[in-house]
């Protein structure tokens, strides 16, 4: 029992001891943890408080030259000047101490009186040495700035001196300090003029002896402690100001990414009005109920007209005015938008036959060209894709009608009647309603609005004649009317096209197109009925009044002379000679006005209001969406405006009568999308027109339509 109790007591004692040790170890771990945390928390503060203040003080004090503080990274650093000043302060007594033998232990120094000079005298000596050092530094800086120096003069660059100073600071042993300090003193002495090499050598030897004496002396006074001023650590002013460049490896870890597609700015964007419309490039099959096609109208600027009016293009570089450069850009733009119908104005005849027609034929276009009459070399052209349309009729119009006394200008127009083509399983055939395509370039003269109205009336009469011929066969004919109309939007000529009516009585002729405001003039020509004589054969409703004009382009009666054959005889010399036996017929074979009753009745019938029966609407709204700025189709040095248009027959809602007869489809064309135009400010930011992007002084107009094939 005693052994058992002893064993139990021993076990209990051991358990208590282990428990006590564990508790003490936990307390020790906790104290150590608290100490570590306090060390990391207060270490930055203690490092900041107990760091050597002399280094921070010396780095923060700027250099003083002649009593003025100077910060200059190219001159000697602060520590060098301080070291040199202190060394020269102590050089006097060091030299005197080195002249005598080294004293032995317990031997009194014979120069004790000189070492025990009053403090005031030592201060004066130090001030004199500092003044001499300042004058030397100023002289060194002036010599460095002077480009003309003697052969025996040289200045040590700051970079070399600073590198040597850094080598001096790295040394730690006393022997190394001596060699480094000797090198430093040699460089400091080289900053002065080296005209006296004996004096410089004596200074170097004295400095060496002084440093050896100072290293041998174990008990230094605070005034003789050079290490605080010379052998310092840490970055200097030059290191703090100069930041070396990063050095990257020659081969990068990341592979260089090169763009595969060149960046291109899309100045003009396509605006879709119907997202459900099918692509124009989709082949047409008999199963389709509609046909999509694209129309482009473009005034390409004839080169002859450009050279004749060079003052309008003085802002353009010469290279963009060359025809070879412009023709290349023109064909690129046509290929880009790939229109099915292309209406061109100002097409120079030789350029058409030599450059444009061959390329357009290779692109699948069939072209009809009409040159202007007179001495002008340009004209109008209508091209269409032969795989999409077939030509049913063509009419080339000339507006020069000297017999009327009004139409004396050489403008032309072209009117085509096209039929859409659709493909079946093995053949291509005509299907759907015909399409009338008209293209013209009206007179530019802003003061002759009467001539513009007469030329427009001829175009509308020919379009109306083709519509009538289709209506006689039971077909509905849609119209696309393109061209350069030389009239700004919402003015009388524009309103006459879109509304079908114009009251012109007493209206100034310049107001018809609105290109110029001539209201400041005291007098100007006004319009009165009738606008044109009866010999023109066109009524005030823009319709032909005689059968001879309706059948123009066909064989003329029993004699079998075609209209084209008769046009070839216009400038025949025999046609200019009046036959002697020619019967004088009033109003026909003479130049006198027709005084017959029919002519007088015509003047009474010709009202002071023009009308036409062609339903037309403009593709463009002439205002940029969002910004509200006006759209511009042409621009030159005299300004920019809108004169080019694409008019079309729009789809109209079915009337009650049409719905009662259950008409299969709405008549007209549906506008699917168009190519956006630009503002005048944006075009001037591209250096105007033409430029390196747009080859003409006009912008191209592009629109896409949808034609219902079941409304024939």
Whole-model pTM: value is 0.60
Q: Name the packing angle between helices 197-216 and 78-99 (round to 10°).
A: 80
pLDDT digits (tens, 9 = 90+) for 163-182: 444 444 444 444 444 454 44
**430 close to 707: Cβ distance less than 8 angstroms:** no
d(CA 442, CA 459): 10
Q: Is the pLDDT reported for residue 152 higher than 50?
A: no
CA dihedral defined by 300, 303, 304, 307, rounded to 10 degrees? 120
Strands (DSSP E) contained in 626-668 are: 634-636, 639-641, 644-648
**548 close to 537: Cβ distance less than 8 angstroms:** yes
Place 205 in a pLDDT band, splitting at 50, 70 and 90.
low
At the second CATH level, the architecture of 270-275+287-546+606-708 is 4-Layer Sandwich (3.60)
pLDDT digits (tens, 9 = 90+) for 519-565: 898 888 999 999 998 889 999 999 998 754 444 444 434 455 666 66
Lowest mean pLDDT among 111-115, 257-261, 428-432, 680-684: 111-115
d(CA 530, CA 539): 10
pLDDT digits (tens, 9 = 90+) for 403-417: 888 999 999 999 999
Query: 246 vs 22, which has greater pLDDT?
Result: 22
What is the predicted pLDDT for the residue at 225? 44
pLDDT mean over 7-20 = 79
3-state secondary structure of 253: coil
What is the predicted pLDDT for the residue at 635? 96
pLDDT digits (tens, 9 = 90+) for 20-30: 888 888 888 88
* Neighbour-count burial of 155, counting CB atoms closer than 10 A to its CB (0-12 exposed, 13-18 middle, 19+ buried): middle
- Mean pLDDT, the chain, whole residue set: 74
What is the predicted pLDDT for the residue at 325? 96
Domain boundaries, the chain: 270-275+287-546+606-708
**302 close to 330: Cβ distance less than 8 angstroms:** no
d(CA 679, CA 635): 10
DSSP state of 356: I
pLDDT digits (tens, 9 = 90+) for 76-91: 434 444 444 444 444 4
Helix (H) or strand (E) holding 502: strand 501-503
Q: Is the pLDDT reported for residue 479 higher than 90?
A: yes
How large a percentage of the chain has pLDDT more than 70? 58
**Which residue has 């030897």 as its token pair?**
205
CA dihedral defined by 194, 199, 201, 206, rounded to 10 degrees? -140
pLDDT digits (tens, 9 = 90+) for 318-360: 999 999 999 999 999 999 999 999 999 999 999 999 999 999 9
Query: 158 vs 494, which has greater pLDDT?
Result: 494
Q: Is the pLDDT reported for residue 437 higher than 90?
A: yes
d(CA 488, CA 516): 10
What is the predicted pLDDT for the residue at 606? 83
């Amino acid at each position: 029992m005693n052994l058992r109790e002893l064993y139990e007591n021993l076990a209990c004692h051991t358990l208590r001891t282990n428990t006590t040790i564990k508790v003490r170890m936990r307390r020790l771990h906790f104290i150590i943890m608290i100490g570590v945390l306090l060390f990391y928390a207060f270490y930055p503060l203690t490092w900041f408080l107990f760091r050597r203040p002399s280094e921070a003080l010396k780095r923060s004090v700027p250099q003083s030259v002649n009593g003025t503080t100077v910060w200059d990274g190219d001159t000697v650093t602060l520590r060098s000047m301080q070291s040199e000043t202190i060394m020269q302060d102590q050089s006097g007594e060091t030299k005197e101490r080195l002249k005598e033998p080294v004293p032995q232990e317990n031997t009194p120094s014979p120069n004790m009186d000189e070492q025990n000079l009053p403090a005031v005298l030592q201060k004066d000596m130090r001030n004199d040495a500092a003044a001499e050092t300042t004058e030397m530094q100023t002289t060194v800086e002036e010599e460095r700035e002077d480009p003309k120096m003697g052969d025996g003069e040289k200045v040590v660059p700051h970079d070399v001196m600073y590198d040597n100073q850094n080598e001096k600071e790295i040394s730690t042993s006393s022997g190394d300090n001596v060699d480094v300090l000797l090198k430093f003193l040699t460089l400091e002495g080289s900053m002065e003029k080296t005209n006296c090499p004996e004096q410089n050598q004596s200074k170097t030897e004295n400095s060496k002896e002084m440093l050896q004496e100072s290293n041998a002396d174990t008990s230094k006074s605070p005034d003789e402690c050079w290490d605080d001023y010379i052998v310092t650590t840490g970055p200097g002013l030059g290191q703090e100001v100069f930041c070396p460049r990063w050095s990257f490896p020659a081969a990068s870890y990341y592979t260089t990414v090169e763009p595969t597609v060149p960046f291109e700015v899309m100045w003009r964007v396509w605006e879709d009005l119907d997202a459900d419309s099918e692509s124009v490039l989709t082949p047409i099959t008999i199963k389709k109920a509609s046909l999509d096609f694209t129309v482009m109208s473009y005034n390409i600027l004839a080169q002859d007209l450009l050279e004749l009016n060079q003052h309008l293009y003085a802002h353009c570089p010469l290279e963009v005015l060359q025809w070879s450069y412009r023709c290349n850009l023109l064909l690129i733009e046509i290929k880009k938008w790939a229109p099915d119908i292309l209406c061109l104005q100002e097409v120079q005849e030789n350029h058409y036959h030599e450059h444009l027609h061959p390329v357009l034929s290779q692109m699948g276009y069939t072209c009809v060209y009409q040159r202007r009459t007179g001495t002008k070399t340009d004209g109008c052209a209508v091209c269409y894709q032969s795989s999409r349309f077939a030509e049913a009729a063509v009419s080339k119009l000339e507006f020069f009608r000297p017999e009327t006394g009004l139409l004396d200008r050489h403008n032309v127009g072209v009117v085509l009647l096209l039929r859409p083509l659709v493909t079946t399983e093995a053949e291509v055939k005509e299907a759907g309603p015909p399409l009338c395509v008209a293209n013209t370039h009206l007179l530019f003269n802003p003061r002759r609005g009467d001539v513009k109205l007469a030329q427009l009336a001829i175009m509308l009469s020919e379009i109306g004649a083709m519509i009538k011929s289709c209506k006689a066969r039971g077909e509905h004919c849609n119209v696309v009317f393109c061209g350069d109309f030389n009239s700004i939007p919402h003015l009388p000529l524009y309103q006459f096209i879109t509304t079908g009516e114009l009251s012109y009585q007493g209206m100034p002729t310049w107001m018809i197109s609105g290109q110029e405001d001539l209201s400041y003039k005291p007098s100007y020509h006004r319009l009165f009925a009738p606008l044109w004589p009866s010999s023109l054969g066109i009524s005030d409703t823009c319709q032909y009044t005689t059968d001879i004009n309706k059948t123009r382009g066909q064989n003329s009666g029993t004699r079998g002379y075609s209209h084209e054959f008769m046009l070839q005889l216009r400038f025949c010399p025999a046609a200019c000679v009046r036959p002697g036996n020619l019967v004088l017929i009033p109003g026909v074979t003479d130049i006198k006005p027709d005084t017959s009753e029919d002519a007088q009745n015509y003047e009474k019938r010709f009202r002071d209001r023009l009308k036409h029966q062609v339903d037309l609407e403009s593709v463009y709204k002439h205002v940029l969406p969002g910004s509200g700025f006006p759209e511009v189709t042409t621009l030159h040095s005299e300004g920019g405006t809108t004169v080019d248009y694409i008019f079309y027959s729009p789809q109209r809602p079915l009337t009650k009568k049409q719905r009662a007869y259950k008409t299969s489809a709405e008549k007209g064309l549906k506008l699917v999308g168009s190519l956006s135009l630009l503002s005048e400010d944006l075009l001037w930011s591209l250096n105007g027109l033409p430029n390196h992007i747009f080859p003409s002084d006009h912008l191209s107009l592009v629109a896409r339509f949808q034609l219902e094939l079941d409304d024939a």
